Chain A
Amino acid sequence: MGERYFIMVDYQRCTGCKLCETVCSLTKTGTVNPAKSRIRVIVKPHIGVDVPILCYHCEDPPCLNACPVGAMHRDERGVVIIDEEKCIGCKACIMQCPFGAIFFDPDKRVAIKCDLCGGDPACVKVCNEAFPKDKVLTYVKPKDVAKWKMLMRVKQIEESILKTYRAEPLVR
C-alpha cells in the first residue's frame, strides 16, 4: 500500500490570492477557469476571511457512500477519485460532502474533485512558492497532522512568551 497524504490548510495564513484555483484549472483542463477548479477559495475581504475549500480524502467518505452508480472509489493511496465516464451528474456527492469540496463541471456536466494530481499537487507547489515561510497549503501524511498541529500550538505559546520576557541572545 502506498504512502497516504492529504493537503492541510492553514486558514489564518491564506490571503485569498486564488493562485491555487488558477493553477488547478490550468493543470486539469489546460485553460484558466476557476469554475473548473478542484480547489476553491471563498474570500470576504472586509472581515478578513479567506477559506480555501478542498477535499480532505476522508477515511470513510460520505460522497463515495452516496454515489448511486459506483462512480467513485478510493485508490491504494487512499485518494478518493471520481470516474467521469461513470458519473451521471446527479450531484449526490456534492450534497453529501461536509466541506462543500466537490464541484460541478458546467461543461462536462459531471462532478469534479481533487485527486492530489497523482501525488504531486500543483496547488501546493504554487502556493508554497508564494508563501515560503508561512505555509498555507501543506502536503502531509495523515499520521503527521497531530504533530503539525502540536508544533503550531507550541509556536504560538513561544511567541506569546517571547513577547512577555525579553529572550534575545545576550550580548556582551
Chain B
Amino acid sequence: MPEWYGWAGTILRVNLTDKTVKKEPLPEYLATQFIGGRGFNSKILFDHLRPGVDPFSPENLLIFGAGPCTGTLIPCSGRFTISTKSPVTGGLGDANSGGHFGPQMKWAGYDMIRVEGKAEKPVYVWIEDDNVEIRDAEHLWGLDTWITTNEIIKDVGDPSISVACIGPAGENMVASAAIINEYARAAAKCGVGAVMGSKKLKAVAVRGTKGIRVADPKGVVDVYFKYVRILKEEDEWWYNNFSKYGTPMFVDQYQGLGALPTYNWSEGVFEKADELGVEKLYPKYVKKKRSCFACVLHCSPFILIEEGPYAGFTGEGVEYEAFTGFGSKIGCANIELVLAAGTMCDRYGIDYISCAEVIAWAFECYNRGILTKEDTDGLDLTWGNEDVVLELIRRLAYREGKIGELLALGSRKAAQKIGKGAEYYSMTIKGQQPGSMDPRVLAAWGFSYAVGNRGGDHLRTHLVCEYMFTPEEMEKYVGTAAASDRFGWHVAKADLVVWSENMRTISNCMEHCTYFNRGAPRLYVEFPVDALRAVTGLDWTYEKLVECAHRIITLERAFNVREGFSRKDDYLPERFYKEPLTKGPGRGKVVPRDHWEKLLDRYYTLRGWDTKTGWPTRETLEKLGLKYVADQLEELGKLPGKGA
C-alpha cells in the first residue's frame, strides 16, 4: 500500500439495505488519473451503475467525494462533491458544496463515502474516525435542515461536528431538493437531495480527528501565502469587492452587462434592479461575514431582518441566484423577500436555482394563460406578486396541492405534463437550469451551458475569464485572442470553453473554490500544480492535469451517452435563439442558431469526439486510458462509426 499524502487513502462503503459498512483502500491509479473529488465520483459512477438504472432505485449510488487538497491549508479548499445518477437530467449528476463537511470527512480518514442500497426506515450515518454507525433517524424525519443539524449535534454532544442532511424537500423527493451541510451550504444541483431522500438517508454526520498528512508542510504554507498574494495583486478589484460584498454584488454587475435574467429570461435588464443592489443589502441586513473552511474570500453574508413582515428571518449565504430567482426572474423587487426565500430554501433543503426556475416558469405560464387559477390552487401568480412566493416554496417542498405536485417535478417535466406550449418557457438544458447570466450577451458562457455534462450549469466553466482576460492573456493561455469579445460568436469560443472546462474540472477534483481563481491567469495554470505538488508530493505538471481533466470530462460524457444523450441535447432553450433582448446593452442580441453548429463541431473536434453524434471516439478513449469504456459503448452500439 502506498504512503498517502493529501489523500486519506480509504474509501468508505455504507450499504443501507443490509446495514453493512466496508472500508477499501484507495487504488493508486484512481489518485493519479482522476485526482479526487468529482473525478473519483464520476469514475465510480460509470463503473458501478448499470445503464438505464432508475435514479430512485436502491441500485443508484450516492457518493460523497473529497479531493487531495480538501481540508488542508490550500486556500478555499473546503469543498467536496456529491455525485449520483440525476433524477433531474437522467444523466450524470453531481453537486459541489463548501463548509466543513469535506474537511471533516478527510480528517476522519476517508476520500469517499459511497452510500449504496436503500434503508427501510429513516436512518442517519454517524462517522467518527474509524467508528461508523448507521443510526435510527425516525425522530429526525420531517424536520427541516437546521433543526436536524441541531438535533444531531445534541445526540452526539459536540458542536464541532459537521452534518450534511436533507430537509422535507429531499424526503419528498422533489426535483430541486438539495443536500445542506452547515445549515446554509448546499450541494444543490441535479436533485442529489431527492436521491438521498429515496434512500431514506436523513443525514451524514462526521467528526474527524485523524488529520491529513501533507508531503511538504512548509511548502503548503508557502503556497498559501504566495497565491493569496497573487490573488490580491493580480485580481485586485475582484478580491476587494468580493470579500466585501459576496455574490449579491453580481446584481449590479450583470445588470450593467445586460445579462440579468428578468421575467423568466425574456429580458436582460430589470427596471427595478436598484432595489436589489448591494447598497440596499449592506449594511442594513448584513450583520457579519462568514466563510467556508480555509477561505480567504469570505463571501457569505450573515443576514438578519429586524422589522417588517419578514422580521425574524436570519440566514447565511443568500447568493446572487436568490436575488435573480426570487427577484428579477419573477419581477419582484423586495430584498427582504429574497433573503427570506433564500433562508427558507436552506431550511426546506431546496436548491434555489432550480426552485426559482420552476417558480419563474409557473409565473410566465400563468401570465400567458397556460396555467390557470385552478392549476395554482387559487394562488395569483401575476408578475411581481411577492405574496405568493414563500407559500409556493412551502408547497413545493411538501408537494402540497396541485401546484405543489407540479412544481416538485421541475419545469421540464411539469411543462411536459401541462403541454399547451409550456415547454417553450422551461428555460432548461437537459432538464436543468443554468446560473443567472444571459447567454445572449455572454457568448462562451452560453455555449458552456449547453455542452455541460450535468445539464445547464454555469459552474462547469465559470467563464468570467471571457471578459476578465485581456486579448493578450487569452492568446497566451487559451491559445486564441478571438475568444475575448463577450458578444462575439467566433468559433474560438469553443476553444475557450474547452480550456475553462478543463480548468474547472481540475478545481472540482482537487476541490477548491472556483471563486479563488477567476481573473488572474496564473491562478489557473500555476496554482493547482504547486498546490498539488506540495500536498501530494507527486510530480504534477500542467499538461498532466489537463489530460486528467480531459479524461474525466470524456468519461462523464460516456456516462451520458450510455443514458441516451447525444449532439441533439447540446442546445440552449429555443427562446435564446428566437427572442432578441429588447433593452439594455444586449438590445437586439440573440444566439445565432446557424453559428451554433460550427461551435459544436469545433468543440467536439477539440475534445476528440465524433462531430455527428457528439459521442467520444474509440481513439480518444484509448488515448486517455479508457479502453474498457470504448468496449462497453461498442457493445451498446454507441461508439461512433460502429452501428451509430
Do A and B pair up? The answer is yes
Task: Give chain A's interface residues, CB within 8 Å of chain B.
Answer: 12-13, 15-19, 22-23, 25-27, 29-36, 40, 42-48, 50, 106, 122, 125-126, 129-132
Q: Judge whether B228 is part of the interface by a CB distance below 8 angstroms.
A: yes
Question: Are B209 and A35 interface neighbours, CB within 8 A?
Answer: yes
Instruction: Convert B140-162 into 0s and 1s, putting 1 for each residue whose CB lies closer than 8 angstroms to a CB of A.
Output: 00000010010000000001100
A17–B72 Cα distance when bound, in Å, is 12
Total residue contacts A-B, CB cutoff 8 A: 121
Which residue of chain B is the closest to A136 with respect to CB atoms? B298
Question: Are B290 and A48 interface neighbours, CB within 8 A?
Answer: yes
Question: Are A16 and B294 interface neighbours, CB within 8 A?
Answer: no
Within 8 Å CB of B294, what residues of A? 17-19, 22
| Chain A proximity of B61: nearest CB distance (Å) | 28
Contact of B159 among A15, A26, A34, A44 (CB under 8 A): A44
Task: Give chain B's interface residues, CB within 8 Å of chain A.
Answer: 71-73, 75, 78, 99-100, 103, 107, 146, 149, 159-160, 182-184, 208-214, 217, 220-221, 224-225, 228-229, 232, 287-296, 298, 300, 302, 304, 314-316
| Chain A proximity of B198: nearest CB distance (Å) | 27
Within 8 Å CB of B289, what residues of A? 13, 15
Question: Are A15 and B71 interface neighbours, CB within 8 A?
Answer: no
Within 8 Å CB of B214, what residues of A? 26, 31-32
Question: Are B290 and A45 interface neighbours, CB within 8 A?
Answer: yes
Question: Are B302 and A19 interface neighbours, CB within 8 A?
Answer: no
Within 8 Å CB of B288, what residues of A? 12-13, 15, 48
Question: Are A131 and B159 interface neighbours, CB within 8 A?
Answer: no
Within 8 Å CB of A129, what residues of B? 224-225, 228-229, 296
Which residue of chain B is the closest to A134 with respect to CB atoms? B289
Instruction: Please list 21 pairs of residues, one from A and one from B, whose beta carbons are closer than 8 Å in the complex, sorted by A's number.
Output: A15-B295, A17-B291, A17-B293, A19-B295, A22-B73, A26-B220, A31-B214, A32-B72, A32-B212, A32-B214, A35-B211, A43-B182, A44-B159, A45-B182, A45-B302, A47-B314, A48-B304, A50-B290, A126-B224, A129-B229, A130-B296
Would you list the 7 A-B pairs with minimal beta carbon distance, nearest first? A33-B211, A35-B209, A48-B302, A130-B296, A15-B291, A46-B183, A17-B291
| Chain A proximity of B215: nearest CB distance (Å) | 11
Within 8 Å CB of A19, what residues of B? 73, 294-296
Known A36-B211, A40-B160; contact A16-B290, beta-carbon cutoff 8 A: yes
Given contacts A18-B293, A26-B221, A31-B213, 19 further A-B contacts (CB under 8 A): A12-B288, A15-B288, A16-B291, A17-B295, A18-B100, A18-B294, A30-B213, A32-B71, A33-B107, A33-B209, A43-B100, A45-B182, A45-B183, A47-B314, A48-B288, A48-B302, A126-B221, A129-B228, A129-B229
Question: Are A106 and B298 interface neighbours, CB within 8 A?
Answer: no
| Chain B proximity of A36: nearest CB distance (Å) | 7
Which residue of chain A is the closest to B145 with respect to CB atoms? A46
| Chain B proximity of A89: nearest CB distance (Å) | 16
Question: Are B298 and A17 interface neighbours, CB within 8 A?
Answer: yes
Question: Are B73 and A26 interface neighbours, CB within 8 A?
Answer: yes
A34–B100 Cα distance when bound, in Å, is 12
| Chain A proximity of B268: nearest CB distance (Å) | 33
| Chain B proximity of A57: nearest CB distance (Å) | 24
Contact of B107 among A29, A30, A35, A40 (CB under 8 A): A35
Question: Are B72 and A22 interface neighbours, CB within 8 A?
Answer: yes
Question: Are B221 and A122 interface neighbours, CB within 8 A?
Answer: yes
Within 8 Å CB of B75, what residues of A? 130
Question: Are A126 and B298 interface neighbours, CB within 8 A?
Answer: no
| Chain A proximity of B547: nearest CB distance (Å) | 28
Contact of A46 among B100, B184, B296 (CB under 8 A): B184
A35–B207 Cα distance when bound, in Å, is 10
Question: Are B300 and A15 interface neighbours, CB within 8 A?
Answer: yes
| Chain B proximity of A166: nearest CB distance (Å) | 15
Question: Are A31 and B184 interface neighbours, CB within 8 A?
Answer: no
Within 8 Å CB of B213, what residues of A? 30-31
Within 8 Å CB of A34, what residues of B? 107, 211
Question: Are B73 and A48 interface neighbours, CB within 8 A?
Answer: no
Question: Are A15 and B290 interface neighbours, CB within 8 A?
Answer: yes
| Chain A proximity of B212: nearest CB distance (Å) | 5
A25–B298 Cα distance when bound, in Å, is 22
Question: Are A33 and B210 interface neighbours, CB within 8 A?
Answer: yes
Question: Are B107 and A46 interface neighbours, CB within 8 A?
Answer: no
| Chain B proximity of A138: nearest CB distance (Å) | 17
A35–B295 Cα distance when bound, in Å, is 19
A172–B496 Cα distance when bound, in Å, is 48
Question: Are A131 and B298 interface neighbours, CB within 8 A?
Answer: yes
Question: Are B100 and A48 interface neighbours, CB within 8 A?
Answer: no
A12–B287 Cα distance when bound, in Å, is 9
Within 8 Å CB of B221, what residues of A? 23, 26-27, 122, 126
| Chain A proximity of B299: nearest CB distance (Å) | 9
Question: Are B217 and A30 interface neighbours, CB within 8 A?
Answer: yes
| Chain B proximity of A35: nearest CB distance (Å) | 3
A125–B292 Cα distance when bound, in Å, is 19
A15–B299 Cα distance when bound, in Å, is 10
| Chain B proximity of A150: nearest CB distance (Å) | 22
Contact of B298 among A12, A15, A31 (CB under 8 A): A15
| Chain A proximity of B209: nearest CB distance (Å) | 3
A50–B293 Cα distance when bound, in Å, is 12
| Chain A proximity of B306: nearest CB distance (Å) | 13
Which residue of chain B is the closest to A30 with respect to CB atoms? B217
Within 8 Å CB of B212, what residues of A? 31-33
| Chain A proximity of B236: nearest CB distance (Å) | 12
A106–B295 Cα distance when bound, in Å, is 27
A89–B221 Cα distance when bound, in Å, is 31
Question: Are B217 and A106 interface neighbours, CB within 8 A?
Answer: no
Question: Are A46 and B159 interface neighbours, CB within 8 A?
Answer: no
Question: Are A46 and B290 interface neighbours, CB within 8 A?
Answer: no
Within 8 Å CB of A45, what residues of B? 99, 182-184, 290, 302, 316
Most buried by B among A18, A30, A42: A18
Which residue of chain A is the closest to B147 with respect to CB atoms? A46
Within 8 Å CB of A18, what residues of B? 100, 103, 293-294
Within 8 Å CB of A40, what residues of B? 160
Within 8 Å CB of B183, what residues of A? 45-46
Within 8 Å CB of B100, what residues of A? 18, 43
A23–B146 Cα distance when bound, in Å, is 30
| Chain A proximity of B127: nearest CB distance (Å) | 14
Within 8 Å CB of A35, what residues of B? 107, 208-211
Within 8 Å CB of A106, what residues of B? 209
Question: Are A48 and B293 interface neighbours, CB within 8 A?
Answer: no
| Chain B proximity of A133: nearest CB distance (Å) | 9
| Chain B proximity of A24: nearest CB distance (Å) | 10
| Chain B proximity of A42: nearest CB distance (Å) | 6
Question: Are B295 and A42 interface neighbours, CB within 8 A?
Answer: no
Within 8 Å CB of A47, what residues of B? 314
